[in-house]
Amino acid sequence: MANEVKVHRIIEGPFESDDEEHEVWMLCLAEEDGELTEIEVYFDTFDEAYAFKHHFTKSIEPIILANDTGDH
C-alpha cells in the first residue's frame, strides 16, 4: 500500500549524479509516517528538479509524493 510523503523544504540541491538511473536529485526535509526526516528525491531532468525547488520560493505548502516502494 502506498503512503504519503510530504516534502516541506529543500535542504540542498539539485545535484547531478553519475548514476544512470537517477540523473538529478535533491536532499529534502520530508514528513513520513508523522516523523520529519531527510530524504533524497530523484528527477529525470534538471528542469524537473528546478521546477520542484521553485515551488518553495512561492509557497509554504508541502508537495505530496506517493511512496510506493519505501525507497527514495
pTM exceeding 0.95: no
The DSSP call for residue 62 is P
Domain ranges in the chain? Answer: 3-67
Greatest C-alpha distance within the chain: 32
Q: How far apart are CA 10 and CA 25, in angstroms?
A: 11
pLDDT value of position 17? 73
Contact 24, 16 (CB under 8 A): yes
Report the pLDDT value the prediction gives residue 1, as an integer from 0 to 100.
38
Per-residue tens of pLDDT for the chain, all 72 residues: 358 899 999 999 999 877 666 689 999 999 998 899 999 998 888 999 999 999 999 999 999 998 654 444
